[in-house]
Copies of this chain bind each other. A is one copy, B any other.
Amino acid sequence: MTEKKVWTLKSVAKELGVSNATVSNAFNRPDQLSKRKREDILASCERLGYSGPNKAAQSLRKGQFNIVALVLPDSVEYMITDPVASNFVKGVSSVLEKSKVNLLLFSGTSDNINAVSDFVDGFICYGSPRNTKLIDQLRTTSKKVVTADFDIERNASVGIDNQQAAYEIAKLAINTKDDLVAILGLRLLDSNLTCRVYDLPNTDIQCSIAHQRLNGYHKAIEELNVDLRADRVWNIPQSTHHSALIAVREALTSTPRPNVLLCMSDLIALAAIKEINSMGLNIPEDIRVTGFDGIDEALRSNPPITTVHQNSEKKGIKAAELFINRATDSIIIPFHIEHGGSC
């Protein structure tokens, strides 16, 4: 097999005896040359095996890449496992595919967006990235940024009213002022540890959905005059069964045993329900549990989880649309409370 010549716009132009600009125009600006000549050139290129201007060079020149980086809350691996995140990606990608924009997955554990920012038209950021350095970088980058489920000033964003949702579901779960409430929080701390939360950090992470939800819970708790003990809030670093289970067990074995578990994700609530069932306790008689997200599995659980249903796929679609349209709106997507049997 003979070595295939690698054509460039320049070499093609020379071969065809026309100028560079003409070849470039044939591909990019049909109005700049006769139809006849354009078709001639395109046909010749096809014959030679030149498939058009090099995209990398083109992008360098134009400053446009047709790639958007999706900044994930955690490693790529984690996203795949999380149904909520997956649905968001699904929504984003469905819109981008239509616009011929490619999706670059960017891990929330990376330490610098510079690694890709020269390659992309901007960022869609789903949730507060695990590495909080990224937040500042996203705040100051000159590229377009759309955030979902958290907010950094100056940018377009989509999300639900987390505080209100948390407030409503907490009101539903708590019956009397003597209820013993425990909160199983998701990423309240900037740490990999599953542990109790005695003090909240006063940092960037405050803008996260976790804190908005916590505020909502607190609001309900105060309104109902419930006494939330200082040692009844847990931090779970990621929404996986394993991490959740540790906190769930701590909570369920603490004395006096809580009878209301406010969980910041359905996966946490699922872990709680499984554990409660296996302890021989009854839901909701002995313990009431609430979730958050409204994933399919939450509806199939026994009992089904009472949870905040949010449409992640739609959120992804909206985020991508904001990006494509260069909008700067903040969109609030409606949620609804899904009444299961867990409270």
Contacts and interface: CB of A to CB of B under 8 A. Distances in A.
B102 A142 contact: no
A314 B87 CA distance: 24
A57 to B, nearest CB: 6
Contacts of A4: 142
A89 to B, nearest CB: 6
A103 B112 CA distance: 15
A116 B55 contact: yes
A9 to B, nearest CB: 12
Nearest to A77: B90
A90 B67 contact: no
A100 interface: yes
A54 B118 contact: yes
Contacts of A103: 76, 104-105
A80 B89 contact: yes
Contact of A118 (B55, B97, B109): B55
Given A76-B89, A103-B104, A104-B102, A57 B55 contact: no
A92 to B, nearest CB: 9
A6 B115 contact: no
A277 interface: no
Contacts of A57: 60, 118
A52 interface: yes
A265 interface: no
Nearest to A75: B97
Interface residues of A, number: 43
A76 B105 contact: no
A81 interface: yes
The count of identical subunits is 2
A59 B102 CA distance: 18
A55 B114 contact: yes
Nearest to A91: B77
A332 to B, nearest CB: 25
Nearest to A76: B93
Nearest to A63: B56
A119 interface: yes
A86 interface: yes
A238 interface: no
A59 B118 CA distance: 10
A328 interface: no
Contacts of A6: 142
Contacts of A81: 86, 90
A65 B66 CA distance: 15
Interface string A282-302: 000000000000000000000
Interface of A: 4, 6, 51-52, 54-60, 65-67, 75-77, 80-81, 86-87, 89-90, 93-94, 97, 100, 102-107, 109-110, 112, 114-119, 142
Which 10 pairs of residues, A with B, have the shortest CB-CB distance? A76-B93, A55-B118, A80-B86, A56-B118, A103-B105, A77-B90, A80-B90, A54-B118, A51-B114, A104-B104
Given A55-B117, A102-B106, 7 more contacts: A4-B142, A56-B119, A80-B89, A93-B105, A93-B107, A97-B109, A102-B104
